[in-house]
Amino acid sequence: MTPAGPSRTAQRVPWILFLVELVITSAVVGVLSGVLVAQLTLIPGAIFGEYDGIFTWAAGLGVTGAVEIGATVLVFFATGLIVGILGLPIRLIGPVRRAWLGNGEVTLAGVAAGVVLILVAYLLGTWSRIRLEQHAYDVFTPHPWLLLVGWLLLALSLSLLVWPARWLPRHARAWWAETQLTKGGFTTAIPPL
């Protein structure tokens, strides 16, 4: 391989990493957005109870479905915008970027912490009773702040997900340290295994 080969490959790594993170984050946050919106807006007891015929039931389901799809898209894009803005300094500021790329365990811990916070938000959620026309229905609402923090932490960690350099084979770890973690004399140290 020519000397230009490894450096050319090293220049592609940030773009490849960005595209992989984009696909993973979009898939996970997209599915979770749909699940979250459906859980927060769907009232199972009200699906059949508020309609006086099959046509009003079908129209009601169509309107509800359209609102849920719109809300899902809104949650998805709002999450992407917030996470994109929060992740920009990490990607663009050299020393911060090298620290991030050298410590992928932080992103894995962020994913785990985000999932735990979302689960705790649902465990600490509350039931309330709402009234629609002639009927009252029980509705479950997760803890809003824990859900928001867990949601954003999960999305941010997924958008910055990096495999920990310490877990790479020795030759891959050396290449990663040489091409991605050094710039202008600054090196993020990765201890050998």
Give the predicted TM-score (pTM) of the model: 0.71
Residue-wise pLDDT tens digits, 150-193:
999 999 998 888 888 777 788 777 777 777 766 533 344 444 44
Q: How far apart are CA 94 and CA 91, in angstroms?
A: 8
The structural domains of the chain, with segments of one domain joined by +, span: 4-184
Cβ(12)–Cβ(101) under 8 Å?
A: no
In the predicted model, what is the mean pLDDT of residues 93-100?
83
Q: How far apart are CA 82 and CA 13, in angstroms?
A: 24
pLDDT at 69 over 90: no
Residue-wise pLDDT tens digits, 9-60:
556 666 777 777 778 888 888 888 877 777 776 665 555 555 555 555 566 6
Q: How far apart are CA 50 and CA 137, in angstroms?
A: 11
Q: How far apart are CA 110 and CA 95, in angstroms?
A: 20
* β-strand partners of 126: 141
Q: What pLDDT was estimated at residue 153?
A: 93
Q: Supply the mean pLDDT for the chain.
A: 76
Q: How far apart are CA 87 and CA 98, in angstroms?
A: 14
**What value, to the nearest 5°, has the Cα angle with vertex 99 and ends 177 and 167?**
55
Q: How far apart are CA 190 and CA 177, in angstroms?
A: 8
